[in-house]
A and B are shown apart, each in its own frame.
Chain A
């Protein structure tokens, strides 16, 4: 079955960067986009961007442009999201989630999420 699994939770200091991984299994990794979505405590879902593993093409929400980098390594079926210049407002659960490339069919499989805490 389709699974998206993160490395463990992380804690960073303000100003630092965090790199979250997302390992995929159970489907052809190169054939779907990986989206990154986050949820701060008490807040809704916030889309950050996507990466197409096959091409390396990316698209980022305007809010994160210049501060986020999304990549994918097809050889190990893993996507990455790196967020820099962290502040306390970046404390959130981060999800990776699969969607079809070029076709809007929603986001059909999600990870369990990983907590990133930004604190001094």
Chain B
């Protein structure tokens, strides 16, 4: 069902950086803002980024994101063990007239 493609997993040592990509098309990412979500096991998903690169109050600046054309990227710097979670991109698809999420990326801290 997902129309946004993410790598299944990424990993890095504590303190290092990971980058998660999100690939879409002209009907979704190419035509709307991208959001990013962190989903810890057993918890409610949390909004990390909205409008491509803005952080809600309380989200540390270790989380940053960008968008270019039909792709988006989430960077996590200064990786911490507490960052181990699944991460999803999301946007609105004007063709489907639906909200769409990415396939999800599991971040592992080595």
Binding site for B on A (CB under 8 A): 35, 37, 44-47, 50, 59, 61-63, 95, 97, 99, 104-113
Contact = CB atoms under 8 A, between A and B. Distances in A.
B51 A63 contact: no
Interface in B50-108: 50-51, 56, 86, 88, 90-92, 96-104
Given A44-B103, A62-B96, A95 B56 contact: no
9 contacts: A37-B101, A44-B88, A45-B88, A45-B104, A46-B2, A47-B101, A104-B51, A105-B50, A106-B51
Contacts, number: 72
A111 B56 CA distance: 17
A111 B43 CA distance: 9
B9 to A, nearest CB: 13
Nearest to B31: A104
A53 B11 CA distance: 41
Interface residues of B, number: 30
A50 B50 contact: no
Contact of B102 (A35, A44, A104): A44
Q: Which secondary structure characterizes the binding site on chain B?
A: strand
A108 B32 CA distance: 16
Nearest to A93: B42
B97 A106 contact: no
Contact of B1 (A46, A50, A107): A46
A35 B47 CA distance: 14
Nearest to A106: B35
A63 B1 contact: yes
A61 B98 CA distance: 6
